[in-house]
Amino acid sequence: MTQETPEAPRSYALWVGLVLVVLIAAATPYNEMMVRGSRLGLSSLTPAAFFVFLVWMLIVNPLLKTVRMDWGLRRSELLLVFGMMMVATAIPTRGVTGPLLSMITGTYYYASAENQWADLLFPSTKSWMVARGDVGLRHFFEGVPKNEVADWAIWFQPLFAWGIFFLALWVSVLCLMVLFRRQWVERERLTYPVMQVPLAMVEGVDKTRFPQFFRDPLVWVGFAIPFIIGSWSALHHYYPSFPAFGSGIPRVSLFRGAVSLQFRANLLMLGFAYLVNTRVSLSLWFFYLIKVCLFGAFSVLGVSNKEELGEWTDSGPVAPIFAHQGMGAMLVLVVFGLWAGRQHLKSIWLAVVGRGTGEDRAEMMSYRWAFLGLVSGWCVMIGWLWQTGIPLWIAAVLVVVAFVIFVALTRSVTDGGLATIVPAMIPLGFTLSAFGSEALGVAGVVAIGFTLVWCGDLLTFMMVPTAHSVRIADEVKEGKHRFVWALLLAMVCSLLVSVFVTIWLGHQHGAANLHQQYFQGFAQFPAAIAAHKLRNPTLMDGGGWVWTGVGMGVMALLTLFSYRFTWWPLSPLGYMVSPAWIMNALWFPFFVAWILKSLMLRFGSLALYNRSRYLVYGVILGQIGVAGFWLVIDLLTGTTGNRIPVY
């Protein structure tokens, strides 16, 4: 028996993972709709996976090992289960199920004589991608009356069609991350700050019932800080007479009130920021402050770009300027990344054509299958979008732009520690600006609104947890191919369970009453932007291309300086993410982390910094742990609205 054989995950671990995937897929939408507690499925960090993993490591696994050592999960198996839970958490609410079920129903449910959607949109809306039927829609949005039977028939065709699309999307994402793994992990040595915590948790777990990580007092000191603060806030929610912790988020208005800075003490993001390079943390807050100053100056001077590009692309007189620059920066980041990895790409191509050398056979085969999977997935996605009414060439551009955004944001997480990040411009906004609504045609304008289902609100999207899961799969010595299949199985299982639970909750209580943001807001977004553009057609916006070019130029210069001059102190990553609205809440934690880590490295030592990381790990787990702990209490007591922030 080789040394690596014990590392191969057993099928037992796969079944444990599937059970926990079902738990997350069912509990997350139930919490979002009914309990309305801490939102553990809201961001690409996938806090629900962290919380369930924490409970398993602290309680379940030690108990199983106490009964029988073989019953506990080994290190490789724990990593497999954690990866499955991460990708599963990215689906039930904000990631897929919430936008999907709301948007494929809202066009018909909210159509009225006033908005004229029936005349404008219905003739060009493909019947197979939306749910129709007055009775079925009423059952979902308003609940099923006692004397009626729920109409499930309206769901089968659109969910089957969208299931094909999401399967192609997830296969493409998985395959792309498999192709990028060696370049990112071994050659560029990205830090993957989010993964440092679970990897530390499982260290040495095969040799003991209770991991050494949880015996470290520094971990528990760090854990206690956010746990006490979060519990204090929770107790105030339960007992309003209990004094509140803090008095809101301090803000400073600048440039005649055109912009404001908020100083949010976010312990979770402070923890992840502490784990990244000080050059990166410096750049993230520095470029954000530069962006704020430029935004204010443009507002005062009247420099503007008044495009209307739909939801989740920054709007207003000034914001689109920076959204375009962010898009240009993302394009440069991805193109430069491909150039930097050209030797790796060459090895992939040689593997595809059967001429690869210098790699082990398993790795070469994985490259070949991943490449074929990526191409096949993209072809299905492009063909699917084409069938909805989007011109074929625009469908191809839209898919490429979407993956550029996915990859750029994923790099922001895996290299920059931004556990939660969003773009300032999404593919819908880019397409409308770059080509105009008239290039799409009537059917294309209607169809492109539904791209908001899969690349609209990117607060949660699949590539980030997939990249993390593929990274931890690198820790498994044997059975890596099973790891990838387990991830895909977890995705499909999570989608099926979460869709069923959400529809069932809608039938029981009325979806519009359970979650207004999804089923009153999101539900109308595709139709609203399509109707607006059909009433007000637009051509290509030259100003948008100019600002995109500015973003590309600045990003190219920053990238050149970063790689050519060792003394250059700034990372181009900070410029790329600076337009994102979420940086309003994240810049200050990165500023504080930069100061703390710089002082630690200057006046302490590397050994002291490595030791301090366990305090930070505790802080991260404490913030997620207190949110999950009180969510369980809320479930037991029937309390609603008790939210402890986890991003």
Query: What per-residue confidence (pLDDT) applies to 624?
Result: 97
User: Is residue 224's pLDDT more than 90?
Assistant: yes
d(CA 512, CA 517): 9
Q: What letter would DSSP give residue 35?
A: I
Query: What per-residue confidence (pLDDT) applies to 6?
Result: 46
- Residue 364's pLDDT band (boundaries 50, 70, 90)? confident
User: Is residue 9's pLDDT more than 90?
Assistant: no
User: Is residue 38's pLDDT more than 90?
Assistant: yes
Query: What per-residue confidence (pLDDT) applies to 4?
Result: 40
User: Is residue 113's pLDDT more than 80?
Assistant: yes
User: Is residue 617's pLDDT more than 60?
Assistant: yes
User: Is residue 462's pLDDT more than 50?
Assistant: yes
Which phi and psi (to 5°) does residue 641 adopt?
A: 80, 10
Cβ burial of 3 (10 Å; 0-12, 13-18, 19+) is exposed
Average pLDDT over residues 13-24: 96
Tens of pLDDT, residue by residue over 547-596, are 999 999 999 999 999 989 989 999 999 999 999 999 999 999 999 999 99
User: Is residue 358's pLDDT more than 60?
Assistant: no
Joined together, the tokens standing for residue 540 give: 């290509």
Query: Residue with structure tokens 């039977």?
Result: 149
Tens of pLDDT, residue by residue over 163-191, are 999 999 999 999 999 999 999 998 999 99
Which phi and psi (to 5°) does residue 253 adopt?
A: -85, 140
d(CA 148, CA 502): 19
Average pLDDT over residues 601-607: 89
Which phi and psi (to 5°) does residue 259 adopt?
A: -135, 165
- Residue 1's pLDDT band (boundaries 50, 70, 90)? very low
Closest CA to 570 of 271, 190, 277: 277
Average pLDDT over residues 376-387: 98
User: Is residue 640's pLDDT more than 90?
Assistant: yes
The percent of residues in the chain predicted with pLDDT above 70, rounded, is 97
User: Among positive and negative, which fits the CA dihedral 279, 281, 283, 286?
Assistant: negative
- Residue 12's alpha-carbon distances to 80, 106, 159, 485, 595, in angstroms, are 11, 42, 31, 15, 46
The percent of residues in the chain predicted with pLDDT above 90, rounded, is 84
User: Is residue 604's pLDDT more than 90?
Assistant: no
Does the global pTM surpass 0.85? yes
Q: How many CB atoms lie within 10 A of CB 277?
A: 16
Cβ burial of 175 (10 Å; 0-12, 13-18, 19+) is buried
- Residue 247's pLDDT band (boundaries 50, 70, 90)? low
Average pLDDT over residues 250-272: 91
Query: What per-residue confidence (pLDDT) applies to 616?
Result: 97
Q: Reduce the DSSP state of residue 262 to 3 states and report it.
A: strand
Average pLDDT over residues 225-247: 89
Mean pLDDT computed over every residue of the chain: 93
Query: What per-residue confidence (pLDDT) applies to 248?
Result: 73
User: Is residue 5's pLDDT more than 50?
Assistant: no
Query: What per-residue confidence (pLDDT) applies to 474?
Result: 81
User: Is residue 431's pLDDT more than 90?
Assistant: yes
Joined together, the tokens standing for residue 616 give: 């930070």
Which phi and psi (to 5°) does residue 252 adopt?
A: -130, 125
Query: What per-residue confidence (pLDDT) applies to 8?
Result: 67
Query: What per-residue confidence (pLDDT) applies to 280?
Result: 95
